Structure 1
Amino acid sequence: MTEELLTVPEVMGWLKVGRTTVYDLIRTHRLPSLTIGRSRRIPADGLRDFLAARLQYEEAA
């Protein structure tokens, strides 16, 4: 398995949003995540899928 896992601060940097926004995306299941111990991780593919879906939505609007 070569799945890259990102931290919340890394996702914050990629999306240029705050911590609350990232956790809101996770809480509403728009951004997949998993918990390892007490740490939250976001699969890089999940972030790419989220961005692709947002881009398709924006183009359709």
Structure 2
Amino acid sequence: MGDELLTVPEVMARLRLGRSTVYDLIRSRRLASMLVGRARRIPLAAVQDFIAREMGGAA
């Protein structure tokens, strides 16, 4: 499903980053996220877009 929402720990595992780094990416708007109630969720598409942008910058 393209509209899957991930938790911060799930994003941490997928990107192999620490909690602080994931929140820094969210805070700097490099990684899109949303609040569902009090829970922070990151769309899978946002993670994929972030990876694509980072890969494009490294090439």
Q: Which runs of 4+ in 1 moved over 4 A?
A: none
TM-score, normalization by structure 2: 0.95
Equivalent-residue separation in structure 1 for 2:11 and 2:3 (angstroms): 15
- Count of residues paired in the alignment: 59
Report deviation, 1:17. 0.8
**Rg larger for:** 1
Identity level (%): 53
Q: Which structure 2 residue ranges, 5 or more long, are not aligned?
A: none
TM-score, normalization by structure 1: 0.92
When the two chains are superposed, the root-mean-square deviation of aligned CA atoms in Å is 1.3
